[in-house]
Amino acid sequence: MSNRPTCNPPKGPAGTTAQVIIPPGWYTYVSGLGRNCFAQTIRMQIKNGKGTNTETLVHNPNTGAAPNEMMKLTSGDKSHIIEARNDEQILTVTAYYATNKDPNADVTDIESQDIQVVKGLTICKAATPTHLLKELPDFVTFFVFVQASADQEATEDVPLYNDAVCTINMFKGTKLDHDGVPVNYAGKSKAGNGVGNNSTTGGTTTGSGTTGAGATGGGLKDTNLDIVFVQDCTSSQQPYIKASIDNIINISTTIASSAKLAHNGLRLGLIGFRDVGASDEFVTKPFPFTSDVSVMKNNLSTLVAAGGGDYPEAVAEALDAALHSQWRPDATKLVILITDAPPHGIEPNDQPSQGSPAGKEPLGIVRRMAEAGITLHLVACEPTLSKDFKYALDFYTAATKIAGGLVFPLVSASKLADYIIGSSLERVELDALVAKYGKTIARRAVFGKKESPEALAKAYHAQFVADGVTVTTLEIEKVYQDYSEGRKNVETYCKAASVAAACPLLDVPGARLLPKFASGSVSPSVTQVKRPVSEAQTSRVVNLSINKYSKEVDSQQVIGAPTFDEPVENSFTIKVPAGWHGFVTALSRAKYNQTLKINHVQGSLVNNNYYMISGFNQTDETMCLEQSRGDNFYTFVARPKPIVLTPSFFWSKEDSNGEALDEDESDQYRSKKLKVVMTETPERAVKTFPNYVTYFIMAEDQAEADQAADVPEFNDCVGIVYLIKNTLMVRNEN
């Protein structure tokens, strides 16, 4: 099966039926242009796994329709839409005409003796150029030209296949709706068929390959990873500083190789901290990022544990310094805080209560980290943290949850390297899932049903499990007692605007540590394994995604609709708002040379040297761009600023076309007048179907006195402008 639509050659007597194969996942709309003064009907039969449906487009001058008008459905819509499905669909188009002048005649009744099958069809095609598929929606259109009578002879001014034009237009879907929420196409298909790498939740199409970290995990190839170690340097911390010095080379080498990082993809930063007070040598001691592990080892060697004393330390100042480090925009960002003390403002009677003598507010800093895509992990030096402080564990559990991280209980400094390596690898692999699904998750949280993080975590966990996604996971023996009061305190911190506003906090009725670990002489077992992604890890992916992307997707402006001015002589102006893709093509309808000039203005940028041309005897063919590789579309990508598009028409019976006709100072080569008709997404389908606007611009080249008798006007060239709203339904920006 082809991944793009195909059209079989016309079939039936004299080739009167066109058949288009619509692959799974493609949206289709069909429109018709009645070109003559008699009644015409386009019958569409759509066959898929559900059955066969028949619709008709009608152009009936007997009831007031003029030549060169859009054909209509019985609903009044000017195009028929066919939703994307998971199975292949076959669209069969047959054209009919009637010369009966009775206004009451039913021109959709193909069994009537007054209705006749046309005598022939000819078909041509235009499609998104393959070299532009990374920037534009995948769009394919077939033009079906209709020849009604058998006794007409072609002349220079009146070609055959001129009685009607049917356009069959198709967009490849992404399995997302306009807001990026996954949708389930109807129908079934074989595993692996469907819509390929854009496959998401639900439905019965398996797609082609796993997502995110993949079934084998390992993160993203050529990823950059920035890690900042925030090391407590007060008097109790010397064993942990020494463990970092002894293991930093192994830590760096293992992370760089296991996470498949780019060359020099791992950078390490360091911030030492003590407390605000005259007795300490420094409050924070920052070291810049380095990709040289020997430099990092030397930086660690300069840290000496000393000072402190009032227990809460300058944690807020250290986290603020980490937040403002020189992070690479494209890197996975990780802060590993190693301490046995909380920030100021957490414990009862601690001063100042707002969290820092210097005015730094720790919850606000953590939330800004989350918005910047920085994950915070705490290596909690136990048993001191849990035995000496009442609410420190609850605060850090909340802080790491907000910033997508975890609390790792460290009883023995010998386990420090395991925590750093395992948490780093896991974070890289979770970031792969955030990169793949993050904006979609944020849109589901912000738009439409505004799904909760809990509901999104359940939905995506089911999808990840079905896709076989595995991630590096640290399996740590349970260290902490579980108390409902502690869980409530965590919830209070998560909801509070600041630590000062986090109230009331509840007393926990017993020891925080399990008896086995209360003395500090026994360490929990720690194992690094590769296993299916857990719901807790999926929940972190969801929270990371919402924190990182929700403001971006929520701030996206509503995209306006295109407008146009009435044609003036040989030109027509369309005002294209920001956020619409454009495709322009032209169809040659006469045997002499024809040219469509395209003037494209965006702000101060003017492109006015694009010409679509035809040559002698090239009727019923798409015209080609003079400056390209023969592309039969002029295209432009949706921009953040409006575009003014002005097509202009020229013609000549001499041996010249393109720019030569435009540059002639006389008006002899300009078409004399234009007529414009349009169709757009039916109002009932704007939420479930790609938003399109299509303009048919028909040119009359010659003055009225020179026109052939009994031939409708605007018969010489047809320019078509397709505008497609840039939403995730037709182009997945991820």
pLDDT tens, residue by residue, 401-425: 999 899 999 988 888 889 999 999 9
Mean pLDDT calculated for residue range 174-195? 71
Task: Count each helix (H run) and each strand (E run) in the chain, helices first.
Answer: 11, 32
Q: What is the pLDDT of residue 219?
A: 43
More confident residue, 376 or 146: 376
Give the CATH number for residue 267.
3.40.50.410
Mean pLDDT calculated for residue range 171-189? 84
Domains contained in the chain, number: 2
Query: Taking all residues of the chain, what is their mean pLDDT, rounded to a whole number?
Result: 84
Q: How do residues 20-66 score in pLDDT, each as one tens digit? A: 999 999 999 999 988 777 888 899 999 999 999 999 998 887 777 77
Residue 60: which of 28, 25, 21, 104 has the closest Cα?
104
pLDDT at 189 over 90: no
When mean pLDDT is compared across 289-298, 377-386, 628-637, 721-730, the lowest value belongs to: 628-637
Instruction: Give the side-chain half-sphere CA count within 13 A for 8.
Output: 15
Residue 609 inside a domain? The answer is: yes
pLDDT at 316 over 90: yes
More confident residue, 239 or 355: 239
Asked if residue 584 and residue 480 are part of one domain, the reply reads no
Q: Which of 2-6, 267-271, 633-637 has the highest mean pLDDT?
A: 267-271
Is the preceding peptide bond at 504 cis, omega within 30 degrees of 0? Answer: yes
Instruction: Give the side-chain half-sphere CA count within 13 A for 530.
Output: 14
More confident residue, 359 or 234: 234
3-state SS of 129-164?
Answer: CHHHCCCCCCEEEEEEEEECCCCCCCCCCCCCCCCE
Hey, is 703 helix, strand or coil?
coil
When mean pLDDT is compared across 165-174, 336-345, 351-360, the lowest value belongs to: 351-360
3-state SS of 54-67?
Answer: EEEEEECHHHCCCC
Tell me how many degrees the CA angle 387-393-398 measures, rounded to the nearest 5: 175
Residue 406 inside a domain? The answer is: yes
More confident residue, 331 or 663: 331
Q: What is the pLDDT of residue 176?
A: 87
Residue 699: which of 577, 599, 590 has the closest Cα?
590
First to last CA, the chain: 26
Position of tokens 């930093």? 248
Mean pLDDT calculated for residue range 336-345? 93
Asked if residue 390 and residue 530 are part of one domain, the reply reads yes
- Among left, alpha and beta (phi > 0; psi -120 to 50; other), residue 18 is beta
Q: How do residues 492-539 score in pLDDT, each as one tens digit? A: 999 999 998 998 999 999 999 999 999 888 989 999 999 999 999 999
Residue 272 inside a domain? The answer is: yes
Q: What is the pLDDT of residue 664?
A: 79
Asked if residue 470 and residue 332 are part of one domain, the reply reads yes
Asked if residue 339 and residue 273 are part of one domain, the reply reads yes
Hey, is 730 helix, strand or coil?
coil
pLDDT at 259 over 80: no
Asked if residue 600 and residue 575 are part of one domain, the reply reads yes
Residue 428 inside a domain? The answer is: yes
More confident residue, 651 or 26: 26
Q: How confident is the model at residue 101 (pLDDT cuts 50, 70, 90)?
A: low
Asked if residue 536 and residue 571 are part of one domain, the reply reads no
Q: What is the pLDDT of residue 90?
A: 96
Residue 95 inside a domain? The answer is: yes
Mean pLDDT calculated for residue range 344-352? 79
Task: Write out the residue range of the structural domain in which residue 615 sits.
Answer: 6-173+558-725
Position of tokens 């108390």? 483
Residue 26 inside a domain? The answer is: yes
Asked if residue 546 and residue 584 are part of one domain, the reply reads no
pLDDT at 372 over 60: yes
Position of tokens 């209980």? 409
Question: Which whole-number Å values give the CA distances from 446 to 123, 638, 691, in the listed order?
Answer: 45, 23, 21
Q: What is the pLDDT of residue 629?
A: 57
Q: What is the pLDDT of residue 256?
A: 85
Mean pLDDT calculated for residue range 645-671? 84
More confident residue, 631 or 252: 252
Residue 82 inside a domain? The answer is: yes
Position of tokens 């299509």? 694
Query: Percent of the chain at pLDDT above 90?
Result: 45
Q: What is the pLDDT of residue 606?
A: 80
Q: Which of 493, 522, 554 is the last residue of a domain?
A: 554
Asked if residue 402 and residue 331 are part of one domain, the reply reads yes
Q: Enumerate residues 6+ apart whose C-beta is below 8 A from 647.
A: 571, 572, 584, 596, 597, 598, 599, 697, 719, 721
The answer to whether the CB of 696 falls within 8 A of the CB of 33 is yes
When mean pLDDT is compared across 53-67, 152-166, 228-242, the lowest value belongs to: 152-166
Mean pLDDT calculated for residue range 68-89? 92
According to DSSP, the residues that pair with 677 across neighbouring strands are: 696
Q: Which of 554, 589, 618 is the last residue of a domain?
A: 554
When mean pLDDT is compared across 185-194, 434-443, 615-624, the lowest value belongs to: 185-194
Asked if residue 589 and residue 526 are part of one domain, the reply reads no
More confident residue, 307 or 566: 566
Asked if residue 354 and residue 250 are part of one domain, the reply reads yes
Q: How do residues 451-485 score in pLDDT, each as one tens digit? A: 899 999 999 999 999 999 999 999 999 999 999 99
Helices marked H in 308-452 — which ranges?
315-323, 362-371, 384-388, 392-402, 416-446
Q: What is the pLDDT of residue 687?
A: 85
Q: What is the pLDDT of residue 24?
A: 95
User: What are residue 432's phi and psi, to 5 degrees?
Assistant: -60, -40
The answer to whether the CB of 633 falls within 8 A of the CB of 126 is yes
pLDDT at 192 over 60: no
More confident residue, 714 or 641: 641
Asked if residue 17 and residue 106 are part of one domain, the reply reads yes
Residue 217 inside a domain? The answer is: no
Asked if residue 327 and residue 350 are part of one domain, the reply reads yes
The answer to whether the CB of 380 falls within 8 A of the CB of 412 is no
Q: What is the pLDDT of residue 150?
A: 61
pLDDT at 205 over 50: no
Q: Which of 554, 581, 612 is the last residue of a domain?
A: 554
Q: How far apart are CA 95 and CA 639, in angstroms?
A: 39
Q: How do residues 534-571 score in pLDDT, each as one tens digit? A: 999 999 999 888 888 877 766 555 567 899 999 999 99
Hey, is 8 helix, strand or coil?
strand
